[in-house]
Amino acid sequence: MTETVTEYPNLFSPQKIGPRTAKNRVWMTAHSTQLVKDHNFTEQHVHYYAERARGGVGVITMEAMAVHPTTQPYKGKIFAFDPAVVPNYKKLAAAVHEHGTLLLAQPWHRGRETSGTVNRLPVWAPSSVPCTVYREMPHVLTHSEIDELVQGYVLAARYAVEGDLDGVEVHGLAHGYLLGQFLSPATNHRTDEFGGSFENRLRLVLDIIERTRAETGRDRIVGVRINGSDGDVPGGLSNADWTAIARAIADTGLVDYISVTQGTYIERMNIYGATPKQAGFQVEDTARIKAAVPELPVVVAGRMNTPELAESVLAAGKADMVGMARTLIADPEWANKARDGKANAIRPCVGANWCMASIVNSPLACVHNPAVGREAELGVGTLTEAQRHKRVAVVGGGPGGMRAALTAAQRGHHVTLFEQEAELGGQVKLIGRSETYAEWQGITDWLISQLGESTVDVKLTHRVEAGELDSGYDEVIVATGSTPLKHGWSSLHPASWGDGSIVPGADQWNVYSVNEVLSGKAEIGPRVMIFDDTGARQPLVAAEYLADRRHEVTVVTRLPQVSPDLEASRDLQATYRRVRGKGIRFVTDAEIAEIVEDSVVLRDVWTGETTTHESVDAVVLSTGNAAQDALFHELKGKTSVRAIGDCVSPRRIFNAIWEGELAGREI
């Protein structure tokens, strides 16, 4: 067999990991999928992991699995201590091993970084220090409960072996989880043999590693996931501390690799950095750990999103394997595309963290990969040629329209895509004009590049009239999007939304929408007030855009918190720190009562008390959008037409792309 020649020779060279050898240096790190049922794996898991193995990944560590019932932040957690996992381990192993990929379990306990809401059990921790996110007072672990914990790790290792997995990655040290809480003086205030000195704080970790190795034997991999740094945590563990921990673990001779990450729930963006967190932000901390344990393979993570970055880190000897999760969620074929010289075709992870937001209430999803979690129906190789090739018109060149046009063309249809503006991209393109969120343009840039390789006929600066479409096309997909509302009302006044009225002064010349600001169409004075009623990201995008141009910005919301939606994507803390550092001020629990020339009257939503803010040069409204569905209704009944995205109901980028994919498949 002829060896594949690749631009990334280090990335696609094999790596020995204890008793096994990975076919390349691409490591899919563990992440929640919420595909779980009854604390066990499902067929969806099999397809999900097999898709990434088929896509060329060398090693997969499956999602973190509970070693005890007290670690259940939500129902969707695998019980690694339950023998019921063994048959499903075998299914997963068979599906992944078919593609030459290694598969590992990741037993773990969250400690204080959870609550007892789901399991109705007390939260466990070495000391009673609450988590900044969950805020529940923990129960201090007794010696017998520590024994229970250790036994959970033992059972997890035993069942991993019985399930034909390649090994176990001991988790719970990193991200401020339970074993990390024992390691850190900030969270371990014990005075017994598990607290105080470095040796005492490390005691439980070393015991678990020893007991895990005793279960697996030497013919399976045993690894450990640690932090490279806890981040800016008073009393937390520094890179030097974690380097010492790594050296102590390596000295046991019981582990085959060390996987390095960062952060705790005090600094969550160090765990899963969203844009604008720089790519490779964990490399240097990992490199120092690698230098301290040269005998062990070390995995680096932290937005390792391009093959060029991965290759450079490996070539410099800063790590031996490249860990990635969101990158492979966005494109399961990342490795094969990179290996085969098709890196330009990789669907990029843009750091939008929709994957994080999605698992709050539903299974894992990606902002622009519709197949995630539904690989059996929508994954690689599932798109079939249409029985009859039709003439299809797609109206609207935002992400939904582009996705629909591309999918329909890939099925053999003759597609024309109409866009009234001079460029494709829709409102995502506007968000990407903010320097902070420039990376989001990767969503539309990738779709545009794929359209360029397709048969789709793209017609720009073409505003379509219904008469052009009610004959000559077999199918019409309307993706005309939405436009911002500028009546100024908050949703506390539903009747006013329908009576045609506006907040007094909302029709002044200096009142704009977020879109007008980001498109450069607004003439903005030095002092700006942004009013938001949505709780979404857009007001802060506009605020940063203006602050970066030296405007003085105040964000007002009728909610008790600015942009609370960012809590789901886990970047609220980091965003607040960034925007407040730019001088942006927040006013909560208020709505606009009136705009009078260069002053704004705000009303407290609880008391009705009003206050006047003087010297406001411009007001920017973020109060939702109106669906632009006139064309759809005009065509309905005259031709075969369907609507997708915001023109159905203004929502999210994900919904537009999802509906575009389905429309392209259904025609």
627 vs 482, 484, 646, CA distance in Å?
4, 9, 6
Instruction: Give the whole-angstrom CA distance, residue 539 versus residue 307.
Output: 34
The C-alpha angle 439, 445, 447, rounded to 5 degrees, equals 130
212 vs 160, 186, 224, 317, 329, CA distance in Å?
10, 27, 11, 29, 30
Q: Which of 49, 153, 177, 437 is catalytic?
A: 177
Residue 257 falls in the annotated catalytic set:
no
3-class DSSP state for residue 426? Answer: helix
3-class DSSP state for residue 620? Answer: strand
The 3-class secondary structure across 474-506, one letter per residue, is CEEEECCCEEECCCCCCCCCHHHHHCCCCCCCC
3-class DSSP state for residue 252? Answer: coil
Instruction: Give the whole-angstrom CA distance, residue 595 versus residue 612.
Output: 9
Residues whose CB falls within 8 Å of the CB of residue 27, separated by 6 or more in sequence, listed in order: 57, 58, 59, 60, 61, 259, 299, 321, 322, 323, 324
Largest CA distance in the chain: 82
Q: For residue 524, what are its two tokens?
A: 């903005």
Q: For residue 126, what are its two tokens?
A: 């070495």
Instruction: Give the whole-angstrom CA distance, residue 241 versus residue 285.
Output: 11
**Backbone phi, then psi, for 418, in 5-degree steps?**
-105, 135
Instruction: Give the whole-angstrom CA distance, residue 519 versus residue 541.
Output: 12
Please give the positions annotated as active site. 177
